[in-house]
Amino acid sequence: MSLYYNLTNEQVKEMVDNIGTNFLYQYRADNEHTENIIKNSALWFSRPSEFNDPFECYSILSSFSDSDVEKWLNIKESFLNATTNKQAEARNRAMSMSEKDIKDYIDSKLNDILICCFSKTEKEVLMWSHYSDKHKGMCFQFDVEKDPKLFISPHIVEYVPSISPKNYFWEHTNEFIMQIITTKCYKWCYEQEVRVIKYPDETNINYADKGKTFGFKPEALRKIIFGCKASRETISKYKSLCAYNGFSHVTFSQMQQKKDGSFKLEEKLNI
């Protein structure tokens, strides 16, 4: 799936409009991996198989008929442009595919894709608990407009109560894969997740690797928000890391518990 990096202003605006914000957030614990984001100006993109939900990229295939396969073949340019003999070979292979064959093929496609996960909110208490070391870590704010090359393919996750069976031969392969990687159980809806996806022509990843880092422009990182339990030492360390690694423009704030009994967080600016 080829993507264009030299986006026009209109294309960047459309990208922002599609996700509903130009700011995306990533919750982090204080550890070496988080330090390296600043030291290397790079974010880690993972294979879907490395995610923490066993239902990630989960799909149920419905039954299919020979006519479904025939319709599917006739929308594939490679099939239509092939010789008669090659078409016959391709038809025989497709007609003989079992459900396991299709799932194995889907898994091979998923294995080529890398994903970096973000949230549209910085104030979700559960996210601070789960991903920021029980509020002792931080949350990075990124401005997608400052580095459209990195954030060129953001997709909002759809949350559903259950997975409906899908007929693989009713869909284009890329559309089928996209539905799988952007659908999660509704119980995760508090995450308000946006996934930035890198495709095979961008990843150039070895089969055994679990993921890969992609560099970002330093100006894309706008703010670091510390958790309400972050220590002074942690705050001081990341301020220094930013100062010495080209992130002097980054601002700092800290979450604190609201005093109105609402179980919500509010942000204390410019700490």
Q: pLDDT-derived band of residue 3, with 50, 70 and 90 as boundaries?
A: very low
Q: Which residue has the higher pLDDT, 137 or 100?
A: 137
Question: Is residue 2 predicted with pLDDT exceeding 50?
Answer: no
d(CA 1, CA 151): 15
**With the CA atoms of 157, 160, 54 and 201 taken in that order, what torsion angle do they form, in degrees rounded to the nearest 10?**
-30
Kindly give the interhelix angle for 173-181 and 99-110, rounded to the nearest 10 degrees. 70
Which one is predicted more confidently, 202 or 90?
90
Angle at 232 between CA 122 and CA 238, to 5 degrees: 60
179-202 core/surface letters (b: 16 or more CB in 10 A; e: else): ebbbbbeeeeeebbbbbbbbeeeb
pLDDT-based confidence at residue 104 (cuts at 50, 70, 90): confident
Q: What percent of the chain has pLDDT over 70?
A: 85
Does pLDDT of 111 surpass 70? yes
In this prediction, residues 6-25 reach a mean pLDDT of 87
pLDDT band at residue 63 under the 50/70/90 scheme: low
Closest by CA to 249, choosing from 220, 226, 229, is: 220
- pLDDT higher than 70, residue 193: yes
Q: Would the pLDDT of 227 be above 70? A: yes
Q: How much is the mean pLDDT over the chain?
A: 86
User: Is the confidence at residue 191, as pLDDT, over 80?
Assistant: yes
Q: What pLDDT does residue 31 have?
A: 98
Q: Provide the β-strand partners of residue 258.
A: none
Out of 48-57, 91-100, 129-138, pick the least confident.
91-100
The confidence score (pLDDT) of residue 89 equals 78
User: How far apart, in whole angstroms, are the C-alpha atoms of residue 29 and residue 52?
Assistant: 16
- Where is mean pLDDT largest: 18-22, 75-79, 129-133, 210-214? 129-133
* Mean pLDDT score, 110-125: 94
More confident residue, 43 or 63: 43
pLDDT > 90: what percent of the chain?
A: 53
Task: Answer for the pair 160, 185: CB distance below 8 angstroms, yes or no.
Answer: yes
Residue 5 has pLDDT above 70, yes or no: no
Residue 268 has pLDDT above 70, yes or no: yes
- Give residue 186's pLDDT: 95
Ranking 74-88, 113-127, 255-269 by mean pLDDT, the lowest is 74-88
- Residue 207 has a pLDDT of 57
pLDDT, greater one: 122 or 110: 122
pLDDT band at 35 (very low <50, low <70, confident <90, very high): very high
For residues 107-124, give the mean pLDDT: 91
Closest CA relative to residue 26, chosen from 148, 120, 126: 120
The whole-number pLDDT of residue 205 equals 62
